[in-house]
Structure 1
Amino acid sequence: MSKLSLSIGSKVFYQNKEYEIVKAIDFKTLSIRPLDNKFEIIDVAIKDLSSKPVEDKVQLDTFTDEEWNEAKEKYEAIKELVFRKKTRSEVEKVAEQQKVTAKTIYLWIKDYETSEKVSSLISNKHKRGKKGNRLDPLVNKIIEDVIEELYLTKQRIGFSKIYDTIKSECKKSNLTPPNHQTVRNRIKAIDPKFALKKRFSSKKANEEYGNFEGEYPEGDFPLEVYQVDHTPLDIIVVDPIFRKPIGRPYLTLAIDIYSRMVAGFYISLQAPGYFSVSQCLYNAFLPKDDFLKKQGIKGEWEIYGIPSKYAVDNGKDLIGLDMQRVCDELGMSMTRRPVGRPQYGAHVERVLGTINKKIHDLPGSTKSNIVDKGEYDSVKNATFTLDEITKWVTEFIVNVYHNRIHHGIGMTPKQKYKIGIFGDDENPGTGIPPIIENPESIRIALLPTYYRTTQKNGITLDGITYYSDVLRTWINKTDEKGNKLKFKVKRDPLNIQKLYFFDPEIKEYFELNYRKLHAPKMTLWDMLVAKRYLKEKNIKDYNEDDIFDAYDRLTEIEKEAKEKTKKHKLRKSKSHKMVDIEMKKEAAKENEPTETIKETVVKKEDNKSSDLFANIKLFNVKEK
Structure 2
Amino acid sequence: MGKIDLKSGSIVNYMGEQWKVLKTVDFKSLKIQNIYTHDVFVVSIDDLQSNVVETHKNRYIDSYSREEWAEALRREDIIKDLVFVSRTKNDVEKIAKEHGYSYVTLYNWIKRYEQTGEVSSLVSGTAKRGKKGNRLDAKVDEIINDILENVYLNQQRYSFNRVYNKIYLACRHENLKAPHRNTIRYRISQIEPKKVVKRRDGYKKAQEQFKNYDGKFPAGKFPFDFVQIDHTPLDIRLVDRIYRKPLGRPTLTMAIDVYSRMVVGVYVSFLGPAFYNVSQCMFNIFTKKDNLLKKYGVEGEWEIFGIPRIIGVDNGPDLVCEDMQRVCDEYSISLQKRPVGRPQFGPHIERAFKTHNGDIHNLPGTTFSDIAEKGDYDSDKHASYTIEEFTTWLLHYIVNIYHKKYHSEICMTPEQKYLKGIIGNDENPGVGLPPVLDNIEDVKISLLPTVMRTVQKDGITIDGVTYYSDVLRHWIGIKNDENRRVSHKIKRDPMNIQRIYFYDSELKEYFEVPYRKISAPAMTLWDLYAVKKYLKEQKIRNYNEDDIFDAYEKLYEIEDNIESTHKAHLKKYKNKSKKIKEMVSKNNEKLNDKYSEIDTENTDELYKDIQIYDITEN
Aligned in 2, Cα 1:360/1:398: closer, same or farther, shift over 3 Å?
A: same
1:456 shift after superposition? 2.1
The alignment status of 1:207 with 2:195, answered yes or no, reads no
Asked if structure 1 preserves the Cα contact closer than 8 Å seen for 2:459 and 2:469, the reply is yes
1:379 & 1:290 partners in 2: Cα distance? 32
Other-structure match for 1:600? none
Asked if structure 1 preserves the Cα contact closer than 8 Å seen for 2:25 and 2:423, the reply is no
The alignment status of 1:25 with 2:49, answered yes or no, reads no
- C-alpha distance after superposition, 1:429-488 (max 9, x if no partner): 221223322111011010011111122221222222111111222222222332221111
Other-structure match for 1:530? 531
1:38 shift after superposition? 4.3
Aligned in 2, Cα 1:396/1:567: closer, same or farther, shift over 3 Å?
A: closer
Which amino acid is 2:189 matched to?
A
1:240 & 1:272 partners in 2: Cα distance? 23
Other-structure match for 2:581? none
1:64 shift after superposition? 1.1
1:89 shift after superposition? 4.8
The alignment status of 1:494 with 2:485, answered yes or no, reads no
Which amino acid is 1:207 matched to?
Q
Which amino acid is 1:360 matched to?
H
Aligned in 2, Cα 1:169/1:472: closer, same or farther, shift over 3 Å?
A: farther
- C-alpha distance after superposition, 1:506-538 (max 9, x if no partner): 221110001111112111122222223333344
Aligned in 2, Cα 1:419/1:480: closer, same or farther, shift over 3 Å?
A: same
* Counterpart mapping for 1:360-509 below 5 A: 360-509=361-510
Other-structure match for 2:129? 130
Which amino acid is 1:358 matched to?
D
- C-alpha distance after superposition, 1:30-59 (max 9, x if no partner): 3456667545x5544332333479995443
- C-alpha distance after superposition, 1:251-274 (max 9, x if no partner): 000111111111111111111211
Other-structure match for 1:79? 80
1:396 shift after superposition? 1.7
* Counterpart mapping for 1:308-387 below 5 A: 308-387=309-388
Aligned in 2, Cα 1:437/1:78: closer, same or farther, shift over 3 Å?
A: same
For normalisation by structure 2, the TM-score amounts to: 0.83
Other-structure match for 2:3? 3
Aligned in 2, Cα 1:52/1:193: closer, same or farther, shift over 3 Å?
A: closer
Other-structure match for 1:561? 562
1:237 shift after superposition? 1.1
Q: Choose 95-104 or 514-523, whichever is displaced more.
A: 95-104
Aligned in 2, Cα 1:194/1:292: closer, same or farther, shift over 3 Å?
A: same
2:132 & 2:72 partners in 1: Cα distance? 16
Asked if structure 2 preserves the Cα contact closer than 8 Å seen for 1:147 and 1:162, the reply is no
Provide the secondary structure at the position in 2 that maps to 1:27: coil
1:296 & 1:217 partners in 2: Cα distance? 38
Provide the secondary structure at the position in 1 that maps to 2:260: coil
Other-structure match for 2:49? 50
1:162 & 1:518 partners in 2: Cα distance? 55
1:369 shift after superposition? 0.5
2:146 & 2:530 partners in 1: Cα distance? 34
Other-structure match for 1:276? 277
- C-alpha distance after superposition, 1:149-189 (max 9, x if no partner): 77447996896998499859987xxxx54337366335422
Other-structure match for 2:612? none
1:205 & 1:237 partners in 2: Cα distance? 49
Counting matched residue pairs gives 564
Provide the secondary structure at the position in 1 that maps to 2:473: helix
Aligned in 2, Cα 1:571/1:328: closer, same or farther, shift over 3 Å?
A: closer
Which amino acid is 2:560 matched to?
K
1:228 & 1:456 partners in 2: Cα distance? 43
For normalisation by structure 1, the TM-score amounts to: 0.82
1:497 shift after superposition? 0.9
Other-structure match for 1:576? none
Which amino acid is 2:45 matched to?
I
Asked if structure 2 preserves the Cα contact closer than 8 Å seen for 1:242 and 1:562, the reply is no
2:294 & 2:201 partners in 1: Cα distance? 49
**Where do 5+ consecutive residues of structure 1 fail to align?**
574-624
Which amino acid is 1:211 matched to?
K
1:236 shift after superposition? 0.8
1:162 & 1:318 partners in 2: Cα distance? 31
Asked if structure 2 preserves the Cα contact closer than 8 Å seen for 1:152 and 1:199, the reply is no
Other-structure match for 2:607? none
2:139 & 2:507 partners in 1: Cα distance? 27
Provide the secondary structure at the position in 1 that maps to 2:210: coil
- C-alpha distance after superposition, 1:14-34 (max 9, x if no partner): 566665545432112334566
2:390 & 2:13 partners in 1: Cα distance? 40
2:523 & 2:442 partners in 1: Cα distance? 22
1:115 & 1:542 partners in 2: Cα distance? 51
Other-structure match for 1:179? 179
Aligned in 2, Cα 1:303/1:202: closer, same or farther, shift over 3 Å?
A: farther
- C-alpha distance after superposition, 1:561-609 (max 9, x if no partner): 3332237668999xxxxxxxxxxxxxxxxxxxxxxxxxxxxxxxxxxxx
1:419 & 1:169 partners in 2: Cα distance? 63
Which amino acid is 2:191 matched to?
D
2:172 & 2:503 partners in 1: Cα distance? 29
1:294 shift after superposition? 2.0
1:291 & 1:281 partners in 2: Cα distance? 14
* Counterpart mapping for 1:274-313 below 5 A: 274-313=275-314
Provide the secondary structure at the position in 2 that maps to 1:430: coil
2:387 & 2:573 partners in 1: Cα distance? 27
Other-structure match for 2:516? 515
Other-structure match for 2:252? 251
1:105 & 1:153 partners in 2: Cα distance? 36
2:482 & 2:144 partners in 1: Cα distance? 26
Q: Choose 289-298 or 371-380, whichever is displaced more.
A: 289-298
Q: Choose 425-434 or 310-319, whichever is displaced more.
A: 425-434
2:536 & 2:357 partners in 1: Cα distance? 38
Asked if structure 1 preserves the Cα contact closer than 8 Å seen for 2:168 and 2:178, the reply is no
2:387 & 2:227 partners in 1: Cα distance? 25
Asked if structure 1 preserves the Cα contact closer than 8 Å seen for 2:194 and 2:210, the reply is no
Aligned in 2, Cα 1:367/1:445: closer, same or farther, shift over 3 Å?
A: same
Q: Choose 48-57 or 76-85, whichever is displaced more.
A: 48-57
Other-structure match for 1:224? 225
- C-alpha distance after superposition, 1:121-147 (max 9, x if no partner): 111213xx633498416x2x5555565
Provide the secondary structure at the position in 1 that maps to 2:441: helix
1:16 & 1:155 partners in 2: Cα distance? 49
1:205 & 1:356 partners in 2: Cα distance? 40
1:371 shift after superposition? 0.8
1:527 & 1:202 partners in 2: Cα distance? 50
Could you say what the CA RMSD is over the residues aligned between the two structures, in angstroms?
A: 3.3
2:572 & 2:235 partners in 1: Cα distance? 35
1:372 shift after superposition? 0.8
Asked if structure 2 preserves the Cα contact closer than 8 Å seen for 1:154 and 1:198, the reply is no
Aligned in 2, Cα 1:177/1:447: closer, same or farther, shift over 3 Å?
A: same
Aligned in 2, Cα 1:205/1:351: closer, same or farther, shift over 3 Å?
A: farther
Aligned in 2, Cα 1:243/1:119: closer, same or farther, shift over 3 Å?
A: same
1:438 & 1:145 partners in 2: Cα distance? 36
Asked if structure 2 preserves the Cα contact closer than 8 Å seen for 1:64 and 1:134, the reply is no
Provide the secondary structure at the position in 2 that maps to 1:328: helix
Aligned in 2, Cα 1:425/1:572: closer, same or farther, shift over 3 Å?
A: closer
1:193 & 1:83 partners in 2: Cα distance? 25
1:200 shift after superposition? 7.8
1:195 & 1:123 partners in 2: Cα distance? 31
Which amino acid is 1:181 matched to?
R
1:166 & 1:518 partners in 2: Cα distance? 53
Asked if structure 1 preserves the Cα contact closer than 8 Å seen for 2:3 and 2:117, the reply is no
Which amino acid is 1:381 matched to?
H
**Where do 5+ consecutive residues of structure 2 fail to align?**
575-618
